[in-house]
Amino acid sequence: MKKLIVISAVSLLLIFNCGLKAQDKGFGLGLMIGEPTGFSGKYWVSNDNAFDFGLAYSFVQKFSALSIHADYLYHAFDVIKSDYRLPVYYGFGARIRFVNNSDNSLGARGVVGIAWLNEKLPIDVFFEVVPVFNIIPSTSLNLDLALGARYYFK
């Protein structure tokens, strides 16, 4: 039921927000699937740099977990020569994971990804690979993967 309410709210926002905006400016909000699966946001602070964040749920781990992350990203628009806007991005950040059995963790993220910025619609589609070096409660290495899309508001 909660999923239906969230999907309906996002759909209404998309329908009633008719203004178009470039995806390399402003604020975008959307969904990501993978490990973990949930909401993704991005806020551009310059032409090449942005903050991204996520609120998601992990279904793959031994114990289900709520995951919150934030990253600072650098975008290289000239790496892939194409008729499409396909910036490669990389950056760093942090992740907190709240596990059902109290084995909560804090880790450092290293992000590498590629995005497709649509020329006509205020959306982007992205794929990213994120090694996570867990620091607390003990050191270990995880891998987050995400495929997602975001809508940019004017």
Domain ranges of the chain: 2-153
pLDDT tens per residue across span 100-113: 767 789 999 999 99
Q: Which of 52, 43, 37, 54 is nearest to 3 (CA)?
A: 37
pLDDT tens per residue across span 64-85: 889 999 999 999 998 888 778 8
What are 100-105's contacts with CB under 8 Å, separation 24+?
100/63, 100/64, 100/65, 101/63, 103/63, 103/137, 104/136, 104/137, 105/134, 105/135, 105/136, 105/137
52 band by pLDDT with thresholds 50, 70 and 90: very high
Asked if 97 contacts 135 with a C-beta cutoff of 8 angstroms, the reply is no
Q: Spelled out in words, what is the top-level CATH class assigned to the domain 2-153?
A: mainly beta
Q: What is the pTM of this model?
A: 0.80
